[in-house]
């Protein structure tokens, strides 16, 4: 996935575009580029590396920054290695047209051969350069305007795209289009300026009004004129819907923290409150969730819930499985969206599919949703990004309200996803009568206390940092948990590997003796969740087994624990809560630990190598 940032108006476009690209670097950061039009000439600057590398180039030659119109890009490579030539924007053969693109043109090879036979040559290995030349060829053949040429070219394309196209000969307009990848248009006062971006963060300080294109839509953005949105396939003009943005600048800045990840870890108490605020009325013993209330019969009659997700969201889905089955007694299957979409799964109209995604843009999850819908299942989304593709594609849903998550490693997304899933499970359990009234009320009271307990855990930062210092040079780590905390073990291991590049594996504690126990020696740190409820004695036995093989034990226990404290090398205490809610607490020390290890190892915490915040390609 990649980030697109563009501007057309009366301000200097360069700083707006560059700041926008920096905010979008979570989408990809292996190369960057910007094209400026200064009223007479195009100035194209692009390079392998981050936006800061691009700035080094433009700072040496201020002419590269001139103009009131431009398009920029930060890339996560798909076709062609990250290098200067493959960086966007790409120019057409004549040099008149320029494009930035997020997505993949699947039939690019056929199109490329066709264009080569018509005399086109290519400078890069990208599918994007094929697209801009296809648009140029259509424009030439049809003798039409840019908008029409873009529309006609896109009808020949299979794949996914969000694009912004500029024509030097029509320098007061930019054409944008979307299929599968997001694009938002910020609208300035009286249409005197427009902002184009992959999400609204690049233009939040300039306007609160935005249009989000839907799939197969395109728009011609022209100064002084209302935006016109058309359907790509049949050229029909459709009504433009302008949304008022809720995002604030403060929400997307680091606010004094060194990294977004640690800021987002610390935001969790508030994020959890924001997630249940207005939904969980603990005093009245009610959970109100419009997406569930409106479809309650469907939920109650569901023969099965299938949860589809990827990465951290999949781990939250596993917690969901434990919650739904334990509380509401509904059978649940949790599927990697990438497997589900291709394995010809059995899905029926009696199934409810819950798709979980922070970004709401993950390609595999989106494809799994489309498959489930085509088989007649009711699809419910749990997303963080408002207005995202998954939020729009699902039949109903619940937002997590975590606020923007910029760090590539998911933290507050995970805890707020679990919060939403807990609310749904409790609500269904109450409606089905599978949980007693008193248990239901207890859960609500205990849930209300979770944010202050997370706050308390965050104060253990120094202690966790000390543990991080001891184990930062480990080559391999094992994470063990049982029941509700098995998914937390998986998530702990994922956090460590993705930002510190230390190999880590998560396992159900009892599975250790079926293989991983062979790995244990005096060099192996093993992080074990041993909270006082749910299989405590059995996990203590596992800890003994580790100890007798000289493994280093870092245990997460409940406050007041005595037994594990005597055996483990380090313990971190979490406050007491209901077993089903412990994942909201046990995950916090693991997040802090991964963060500190990555910082100590001097890794790029917010933008780990090879990763992108959301994976909008297969
Ligand atoms: O945006 P999504 O929740 O759909 O993203 C799914 C995964 O790509 C994501 O959780 C990924 O595993 C994170 N980097 C984990 O920290």
What does the pLDDT look like over 208-265, one tens digit per residue?
Answer: 999 999 999 999 999 999 999 999 999 999 999 999 988 777 777 787 899 999 999 9
Q: What is the CATH number of domain 3-251?
A: 3.60.20.10
Question: Structure tokens of 16?
Answer: 């707006």
Can you tell me the distance from the alpha carbon of 467 to that of 464, in angstroms, rounded to the nearest whole number? 5
pLDDT over 80 at 289, yes or no: yes
Least confident piece of the model among 14-23, 543-552, 588-597: 543-552
Question: Residue with structure tokens 């794949």?
Answer: 159
Question: What class, spelled out in words, does domain 254-459 have in CATH?
Answer: alpha beta
76 confidence band (pLDDT: 50, 70, 90): confident
Instruction: State the pLDDT at residue 54.
Output: 97
- Is 389 a pocket residue for ligand 1 (Cβ < 6 Å)? no
Q: What is the mean pLDDT of the chain?
A: 94
Question: What class, spelled out in words, does domain 460-609 have in CATH?
Answer: alpha beta
2 counts as catalytic: yes
Q: Whose CA is nearest to atom 9 of ligand 1?
A: 311
* CA of 382 relative to ligand 1 center, distance in Å: 13
pLDDT per residue as tens digits for the range 504-536: 999 999 888 898 888 888 889 999 999 998 789
- What integer is the mean pLDDT of 589-596? 98
User: Closest ligand 1 atom, CA of 411?
Assistant: 16
Per domain, the residue ranges of the chain are: 3-251, 254-459, 460-609
pLDDT over 80 at 61, yes or no: yes
Beta strands in 406-539 (DSSP E): 476-481, 503-508, 525-530
pLDDT over 80 at 617, yes or no: no
Instruction: State the pLDDT at residue 82.
Output: 84
618 confidence band (pLDDT: 50, 70, 90): confident
Nearest to 411 by CA among 401, 402, 420, 424: 402
Instruction: State the pLDDT at residue 86.
Output: 93
pLDDT over 80 at 616, yes or no: no
Higher pLDDT, 122 or 106: 122
Instruction: State the pLDDT at residue 73.
Output: 97
* 3-251 shares its CATH topology with 460-609: no
Instruction: State the pLDDT at residue 147.
Output: 96
- What integer is the mean pLDDT of 176-196? 94
Instruction: State the pLDDT at residue 115.
Output: 98
Instruction: State the pLDDT at residue 202.
Output: 94
Q: How far apart are the first and last CA of the chain?
A: 10
Q: Whose CA is nearest to atom 7 of ligand 1?
A: 311
CB neighbours of residue 601 within 10 Å: 15
pLDDT over 80 at 386, yes or no: no
Please tell me whether the overall predicted TM-score, pTM, comes out greater than 0.85 for this model: no
143 counts as catalytic: no
Choosing from 50, 263, 412, 613, the catalytic residue is: 613
Secondary structure of 9-64 in HEC code, one letter for each residue:
CCCCHHHHHHHHHHHCHHHCCCEEEEEEECCCCEEEEEEECCHHHHHHHHHHCHHH
pLDDT per residue as tens digits for the range 416-425: 999 999 999 9
Higher pLDDT, 414 or 81: 414
């Amino acid at each position: 996935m990649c980030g697109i940032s563009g501007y057309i108006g009366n301000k200097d476009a360069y700083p707006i575009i560059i700041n926008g690209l920096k905010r979008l670097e979570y989408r990809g950061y292996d190369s960057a580029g910007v094209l400026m039009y200064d009223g007479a000439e195009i100035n194209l600057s692009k390079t392998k590396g981050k936006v800061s590398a691009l700035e080094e180039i433009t700072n040496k030659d201020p002419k590269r920054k001139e103009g009131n119109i431009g398009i920029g890009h930060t890339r996560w490579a798909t076709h062609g290695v990250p290098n200067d030539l493959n960086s966007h924007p790409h120019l057409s053969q004549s040099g008149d047209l320029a494009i930035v693109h997020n997505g993949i043109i699947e039939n690019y090879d056929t199109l490329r051969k066709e264009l080569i036979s018509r005399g086109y040559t290519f400078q890069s290995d990208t599918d994007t350069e094929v697209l801009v030349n296809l648009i140029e060829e259509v424009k030439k053949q049809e003798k039409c305007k840019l908008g029409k040429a873009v529309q006609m070219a896109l009808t020949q394309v299979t794949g996914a795209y969000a694009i912004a196209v500029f024509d030097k000969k029509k320098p007061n307009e930019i054409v944008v289009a979307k299929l599968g990848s997001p694009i938002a248009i910020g609208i300035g006062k009286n249409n005197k300026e427009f902002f184009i971006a992959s999400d609204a963060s690049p233009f939040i300080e300039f306007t609160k009004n935005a249009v989000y294109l839907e799939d197969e839509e395109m728009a011609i953005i022209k100064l002084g004129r209302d935006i016109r949105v058309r359907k790509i396939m049949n050229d029909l003009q459709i009504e433009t819907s302008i949304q008022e943005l809720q995002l604030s600048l403060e929400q997307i800045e680091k606010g004094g923290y060194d990294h977004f990840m640690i800021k987002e870890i610390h935001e969790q108490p508030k994020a959890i409150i924001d997630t249940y605020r207005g939904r969980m009325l603990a005093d009245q013993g009610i959970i109100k969730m419009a997406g569930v209330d409106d479809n309650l019969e469907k939920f109650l009659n569901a023969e099965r819930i299938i949860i589809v997700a990827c990465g951290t969201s999949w781990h939250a889905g596993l917690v969901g499985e434990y919650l739904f089955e334990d509380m509401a007694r509904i059978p649940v299957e949790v599927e990697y969206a990438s497997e589900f979409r291709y394995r010809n799964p059995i899905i029926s109209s009696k199934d409810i599919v819950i798709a979980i995604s922070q970004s709401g843009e993950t390609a595999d999850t989106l494809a799994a949703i489309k498959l489930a819908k085509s088989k007649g299942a009711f699809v419910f989304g749990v997303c963080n990004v408002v207005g995202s593709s998954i939020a729009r594609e699902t039949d109903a849903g619940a937002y997590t309200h975590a606020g923007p998550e910029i760090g590539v490693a998911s933290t507050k997304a995970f805890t707020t996803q679990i919060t939403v899933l807990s609310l749904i499970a409790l609500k269904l359990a109450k409606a089905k009568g599978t949980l007693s009234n008193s248990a239901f009320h207890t859960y609500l009271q205990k849930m209300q206390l979770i944010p202050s307990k997370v706050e308390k855990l965050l104060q253990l930062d120094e202690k966790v940092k000390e543990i991080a210092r001891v184990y930062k040079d480990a080559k391999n780590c094992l994470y063990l948990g049982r029941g509700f905390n098995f998914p937390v073990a998986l998530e702990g291991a994922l956090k460590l590997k993705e930002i510190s590049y230390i190999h880590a594996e998560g396992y159900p504690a009892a599975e250790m003796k079926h293989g991983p126990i062979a790995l244990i020696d005096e060099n192996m740190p093993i992080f074990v969740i041993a909270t006082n409820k749910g299989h405590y004695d059995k996990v203590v036995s596992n800890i003994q087994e580790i100890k007798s093989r000289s493994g280093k034990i870092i245990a997460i226990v409940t406050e007041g624990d005595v037994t594990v404290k005597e055996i483990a090398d380090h313990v971190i205490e979490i406050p007491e809560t209901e077993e089903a809610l412990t994942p909201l607490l046990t995950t916090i020390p693991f997040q802090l630990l991964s963060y500190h290890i990555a910082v100590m190892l001097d890794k790029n915490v917010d933008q780990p190598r090879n990763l992108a915040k959301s994976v909008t390609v297969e």
